[in-house]
């Protein structure tokens, strides 16, 4: 399955604002954790790099870490400057430390509804879309 990005709508077969039960028959979803602060439940898609975040069983955010394709370009492992070549604006948001060891930068690409997380070299390591 290719994880084609449809801005503001979906990544691959997973659509924002759809009910998580819509995917139980076709995919093996592994329910992971419930966050008491955000009130979100996390689901991992077995044999896929997609992570689904739900609120009241509706998908509110989708994350991918291996493949996220737009305009025939896989954004994962691309430089954040890939958006410059596509004439898409992006803005630096913040730097975060993951697990106390790895620093990642967060960029917002508002015109296509993305949040991109990059490593210290500004290479995209994950993509997040939200509804």
For the chain, give every domain's residue range.
5-64, 73-130
The confidence band for 98, taking pLDDT boundaries of 50, 70 and 90, is: confident
Kindly report, residue by residue over 29-83, the tens digit of the pLDDT: 999 988 888 889 999 999 889 999 999 999 999 999 999 999 999 999 999 999 9
Cα 131 from Cα 120, distance rounded (Å): 28
- What tokens does 52 get? 């689904």
Reported in sequence order, the residue ranges of the chain that DSSP labels E, i.e. its strands, are 5-6, 10-11, 14-15, 29-34, 41-45, 50-55, 58-64, 69-70, 73-74, 91-98, 102-109, 114-118, 124-130
Q: Is the pLDDT of residue 1 over 70?
A: no
- What tokens does 65 get? 């870490």
Q: Is the pLDDT of residue 18 over 90?
A: yes
Please check whether residue 4 is in contact with residue 69, taking contact to mean a CB–CB distance below 8 angstroms: yes
Check residue 97 and give its pLDDT.
77
pTM, full prediction: 0.92
Please check whether residue 104 is in contact with residue 95, taking contact to mean a CB–CB distance below 8 angstroms: yes
Please check whether residue 118 is in contact with residue 103, taking contact to mean a CB–CB distance below 8 angstroms: no
Q: Is the pLDDT of residue 100 over 80?
A: no
The confidence band for 2, taking pLDDT boundaries of 50, 70 and 90, is: confident
- Kindly state the average pLDDT of the residues 114-118: 95
DSSP state of 82: H
- Kindly state the average pLDDT of the residues 98-121: 90
- Report the largest interatomic distance among the alpha carbons of the chain, rounded to a whole angstrom: 40
């Amino acid at each position: 399955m290719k994880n084609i990005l449809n801005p503001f709508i979906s990544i691959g077969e997973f659509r924002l604002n759809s009910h998580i039960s819509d995917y139980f028959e076709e995919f093996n979803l592994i329910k992971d954790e419930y966050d008491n602060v955000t009130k979100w439940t996390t689901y991992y898609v077995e044999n896929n790099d997609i992570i689904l975040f739900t609120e009241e069983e509706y998908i509110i955010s989708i994350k991918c870490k291996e493949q996220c394709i737009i305009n025939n370009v896989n954004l994962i492992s691309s430089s954040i400057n890939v958006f410059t070549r596509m004439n898409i604006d992006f803005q630096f948001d913040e730097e975060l430390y993951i697990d106390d060891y790895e620093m990642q930068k967060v960029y917002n690409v508002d015109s296509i509804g993305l949040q991109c997380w990059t490593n210290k070299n500004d290479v995209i390591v994950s993509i997040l879309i939200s509804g």
